[in-house]
């Protein structure tokens, strides 16, 4: 159930990682599988050393809108607080922007896509 202080965040990348969650939110998130229709995924080189240290990866997945309506990106949807959403904003580098989308399940969620 979506309460006023809870928002949905869809992750297809490093925000699904336990270490990233603990570093960013101070806790491990519980989520469920979902998908982002109409997007395709590639990899992005990360230049921010702090983000690379937290994730342990120099390249992170990134999604962009796709011209192919059959494209979709699998991931996890999490229920988080507004404060945790702001923490996710701090973690994501400037190559990403946060947008509101409707997931395959029908849930309206925030997701980080290519800026």
Q: Is the pLDDT of residue 4 over 70?
A: no
pLDDT given at position 69: 87
Q: Is the pLDDT of residue 29 over 80?
A: yes
- Say if residues 54 and 16 touch (Cβ distance below 8 Å): no
Average pLDDT, the chain: 92
Topology, domain 6-114: Hypothetical upf0131 protein ytfp (3.10.490)
Tokens of 37: 């229709």
Mean pLDDT of 83-104: 93
Handedness of CA 19, 20, 24, 27 (dihedral sign): negative
**pTM of this structure:** 0.88
- Say if residues 80 and 88 touch (Cβ distance below 8 Å): yes
Domain residue spans of the chain:
6-114
pLDDT tens profile 94-113: 889 999 999 999 999 999 99
pLDDT given at position 3: 58
Tokens of 55: 């994730």
Query: Which of 81 and 4 is assigned the larger pLDDT?
Result: 81
pLDDT given at position 94: 86
Mean pLDDT of 54-75: 93
């Amino acid at each position: 159930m979506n309460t006023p202080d809870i928002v949905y965040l869809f992750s297809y990348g490093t925000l699904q990682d336990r270490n990233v969650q603990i570093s960013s939110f101070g806790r491990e998130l519980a989520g469920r599988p979902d998908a982002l229709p109409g997007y395709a995924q590639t990899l992005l080189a990360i230049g921010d050393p702090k983000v690379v240290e937290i994730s342990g990866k120099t390249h992170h997945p990134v999604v962009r809108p796709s011209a192919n309506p059959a494209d979709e990106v699998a991931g996890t949807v999490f229920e988080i607080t507004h404060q945790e959403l702001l923490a996710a904003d701090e973690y994501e580098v400037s190559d990403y922007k946060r947008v509101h989308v409707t997931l395959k399940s029908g849930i309206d969620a925030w997701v980080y896509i290519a800026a």
